[in-house]
Amino acid sequence: MFLAINPIAFSIGPLSVRWYGIILGTAALVGLLLAIREGKRFRMSPDFFMDLVLIGVPSAIVGARIYYVAFKWEDYQDNLWKVFAVWEGGIAIYGALIGAIIAAVIYVRRKGYSFWRIADICAPGLIIGQAIGRWGNFINQEAHGGVVAESFLRNNLHLPDWIVNQMLIEGQYYHPTFLYESLWNVAGLLLLFVLRRRSFLRAGELFFSYFIWYSIGRFFVEGLRTDSLDFTGPSWLAALMNGMWSPMTAFGFEPGFMTYGGNVRISQLLAVLIVLAAFVLIIVRRRTGAASERYSAPIVRIGQAPEEASKAGDADTRPNGTKEADIKAKE
């Protein structure tokens, strides 16, 4: 396979540092900085979000691997050691989100905060992290779509040479699905920035908005890919998924082939279910009063009065961090 861009950024003796790792590290850092900056508006300590990342990233990796292995168990059941061979590929973004969310729920609850409030603050960081992280797939020439003509990339999409050349894999050009998803996520970031300043937004709804936006884009991009996890479902389900994706053909896109011979892409089905679940949760939480708290309201620990939180926040922002140290000592 010809690589227009060397996947190894640099080497120190026998140790090789890959661009993929650098890009993922940058994605996590940018997401963290966004969360810290928004957290300061609510007088939250940056250490809280740094600890959350340290817990969330490993949990995301484990979740991503478990998700993939669970759906491709036949490839691992006779050789369990391959389950741990993540360097051979085989991780899934939805699994990463599940792993990270489970870890975040436990961590946030132990700290005494509402998960929904913290999830709202982290939502922009999640989507920009995914936008940046997709460029790691670009470097590795993976997670691409089906075969296209070079003229499609140059004349229809007007892509620069360095992207077109990297999409040349074993003599054929492919859809740069990493780019489609990355740009969709950048647009989603801007949308979340706008939404979080709207007075109508309730606790948890920015997080739900992130899932809705991401899942819609993922549904359509996934249909182009040639490495999707898939299964053989009922004909009506396959027809429904194909019908929902069919508007893409109006823009000159053709669906990628099913990697494992099924007729339903798991990520597409999950994307549809997530969008429906998110809308249902927004409606139910509003009608039951569970979403009575607005996004702009002060963030307080469970059982703590707002005025107490304000005083604690003032102390947390002092240079010597006296109050934060006292809180940690009590914990």
Residue 301 marked as a ligand binder: no
Cα separations in angstroms, 33 against 30, 125, 284:
5, 8, 32
Sign for the CA dihedral angle at 154, 159, 160, 163 comes to: negative
Q: Are strands 264-265 and 172-174 parallel, antiparallel or unpaired?
A: unpaired
According to DSSP, the residues that pair with 10 across neighbouring strands are 17
Nearest-CA neighbor of 210 among 181, 186, 236, 189? Answer: 189
> What are φ and ψ of residue 196, in 5° steps?
-70, -5
Return the amino acid letter for 36.
I
Return the amino acid letter for 172.
Q
Q: Residue 242 corresponds to which tokens in the numbers above?
A: 């194909």
Q: How far apart are CA 112 and CA 269, in angstroms?
A: 35
Binding site membership: which residues?
134
